[in-house]
Structure 1
Amino acid sequence: MEAKQEVKMQPTQVIAPDKKNEKSEKPKRFSNPKRATQNKERFNKVVEFEERVIDVARVTTVVKGGRRFSFSAHAVVGNKKGKVGFGHGKANEVQDAIKKAVKDAQNNLISVPIVNGTIPHEVKNEKYLASKILLKPAPKGKGIVASNTVRAVVELAGYTDIYSKTYGSRTKINVVRAALKALQKLKTVKEIAELRDIDVKTLLQK
């Protein structure tokens, strides 16, 4: 008879997973610094800029099936630190039209010089279509002497003391564009000093 040999099975050893290795094996998430910067800039832009709605109008379009209604909006935005913009938006709802106008204004910003709360020099008879505007520096404490439409532009640009007068057509959109054209004609103190061939300190003392 064949003898049966008993084979003793050695107990298997269970190896516990190494927590350190487990952590290191997890896929790493790489952040995109460029995208993070863009998101931060967008957030700062939203927080930094104020907005004013200049005009909202209902637009009627005649189509084959009847009439189609939509809304058109114009808005001014500014950070009160020398940046201001004007934009237009159109949508089926009023709020959507305003949002588009604000976004368009943020994409059309201009930089303007501010000297002690006012403009560095006078701008005469700047024209847009049938609207003309005059901008003059005002002494500290004078405030903003302007129509509501022009006030929205210069206030959001950052001016606290300025004198303005409008001639011709008083259409809000034309007046805003005339005001922006006038602001774009402004020269900085450094540019004025270079034109007069004098030092900046000497110019500011006058």
Structure 2
Amino acid sequence: MARAPGSGRGGPREGGEGGGRGRRSDREGGRGQRRDSSIDREESEIIDRLVDINRVSKTVKGGKRFGFAAIVVVGDQRGRVGYGTGKAREVPEAIRKATESAKRGMIRVALREGRTLHHDVIGHFGAGRVVLRAAPAGTGIIAGGAMRAVFETVGLKDVVAKSVGTSNPHNMIKATFEALSAVQSPRTVAGRRGKKVADILGRRDDQVAAEAAA
């Protein structure tokens, strides 16, 4: 008896395998889409601030070539912040390069109650020297220039800062980042010393009370 086309054992098996591969690829594509959506969501939460842009020139045979150098600060306003620089012949391209560089070098800063620093800290870089101090609720951001852009992007709402060195924005930002990198939460200090957070905070409160009584 003649078999109908496609009724042999090879036909349905090949079709089934092909269908299985298709469904598996669809699932893989779905996972890839979910990963892409999460990455896009993280990118959309990051804000950027243009701190400074400077026109630079390079003397070559036959004249000068002009370009632009930009410095940008980015952050998610929840403790992550970064800065970057970029150079290009046009302003938009310089800003784009600086933004990409800033996103690659983001750091995490420990914030108290999501609004201020855990303790006072000093940062140095070159001729730049900055002093950052924690502040009570309602103080706001008391800072200017490049430091304000850093505080806004990292998510600080109450902080008092002072630059006592150079006013160069590059050195000011690098000194500010060095200071923010030195901020430690009580949990981190307690874990390093093998103690409880209450012990660290209690000792600090006793010292503050003793100093106030004196």
TM-score range, shorter chain: 0.7 to 0.9
Matched AA of 2:62: G
Q: Does 1:47 align with 2:41?
A: no
| Residue equivalent to 1:9 | none
- Structure-2 separation of matches of 1:183 and 1:173: 15
Aligned with residue 108 of structure 1, among 102, 105, 112: 105
Q: 2:89 aligns with which of 87, 92, 115?
A: 92
Structure 1 residues 19-58: Cα deviation after superposition (integer angstroms, max 9, x where no partner): xx9x977883724577546533541232010000011111
2 CA distance for matches of 1:133 and 1:37?
Answer: 42
Q: Does 1:148 align with 2:145?
A: yes
Amino acid at match of 1:28: G
C-alpha distance in structure 2 between counterparts of 1:107 and 1:92, whole Å: 22
Structure 1, unmatched stretches of 5+, are 1-14, 16-20
- How far off its partner does 1:103 sit? 0.6
Give the structure with higher Rg (CA).
1
Counterpart check, 1:118 vs 2:112: no
Q: Give the secondary structure class of the aligned counterpart of 2:57.
A: strand
Q: Counterpart of 1:168 in 2: which secondary structure?
A: coil
Indicate how the Cα distance of structure 1 residues 201 and 156 shifts in structure 2: closer, same or farther if over 3 A, else same: same
Equivalent residue, structure 2, for 1:131: 128
TM-score (norm 1): 0.79
What is the alpha-carbon distance in structure 2 between the residues aligned to residue 189 and residue 109 of structure 1?
Answer: 22
* Structure in which a larger fraction of residues adopt helix: 2
Aligned partners of 2:93 and 2:39: how far apart in 1? 19
Write out per-residue CA displacement over residues 103-160 of structure 1, whole angstroms, 9 at most, x where no aligned residue.
1000000000010211001113x21111101111100111111113111111211110
Matching of residues 18-29 of structure 1 within 5 Å:
28=22
Once residues 67 and 55 of structure 1 are traced to their aligned partners in structure 2, the CA distance between those partners, rounded to angstroms, is: 22
Q: Which amino acid aligns with 2:103?
A: Q
The residue aligned with 1:69 is 66
Shift of 1:98: 0.3
| CA root-mean-square deviation | 2.9
* Aligned-residue offset at 1:199: 2.9
Separation of aligned partners in 2, 1:166 and 1:141: 22
- Whole-angstrom CA distance in 1 between matches of 2:127 and 2:67: 27
Instruction: Name the CA shift for 1:58/1:38 in 2 (closer, same or farther; >3 Å).
Output: farther
* Closer/same/farther in 2, CA of residues 198 and 102 from structure 1, 3 Å limit: same
Whether 1:181 and 2:175 are equivalent positions in the alignment is no
- C-alpha deviations, 1:78-99, integer Å up to 9, x for none? 0000000000111111011101
Cα offset, 1:65, TM superposition: 2.9
Give the AA of the match of 2:132: L
